[in-house]
Amino acid sequence: MSDCIFCKIVKGEIPAKKLYEDDEIIAFWDIDPQAPKHFLVVPKKHLAAVAALEEGDERLAGRMLRLGARLAAEHGVGDFRVIFNNGPMAGQEVFHLHMHILGGRQLHGLG
């Protein structure tokens, strides 16, 4: 999508502080961190949200989760929160599937 900020990051049109990149996934530090360690894991394939995942996307979603855990460990985050927002009422602001990894401090709520 031409106006999607994450698609622009994938294409290199907007800079990002990258942690990882391969043919399917890019990970970068959040520009408005909500924790000392806060990064995003984003598929390069444009999917609007979690609800847009289709049969056949399971491998991609699994890779995102595994990569998020690996990157957290590599950056000294043992305990972390994983967040996927789906839709505006859930807090989604960028309508390109992405996963937040937050850690580096005590996180409360949603036990």
Q: What is the pLDDT of residues 27-39, one digit of tens each?
A: 999 999 999 999 9
| Burial per residue of 92-105, b for 16 or more beta-carbon CB atoms within 10 angstroms, e otherwise | beebbbbbbbbbbe
pLDDT score, position 108: 86
Among 38, 46, 96, 98, which one carries the catalytic annotation?
A: 98
CB 30 within 8 A of CB 42: no
- Tell me if residue 100 is catalytic: no
φ, ψ of residue 43 in degrees (nearest 5): -70, 145
The pTM (predicted TM-score) of the whole model is 0.95
pLDDT at 78 over 90: yes
Beta bridge partner(s), residue 103: 37, 80
pLDDT score, position 62: 97
pLDDT score, position 111: 64
| Average pLDDT, integer, range 79-94 | 97
Q: Which domains does the chain possess? A: 5-103 (3.30.428.10)
| Average pLDDT, integer, range 52-63 | 96
Sheet strands side by side (includes 25-29): 18-21, 25-29, 37-43, 99-103, 80-83
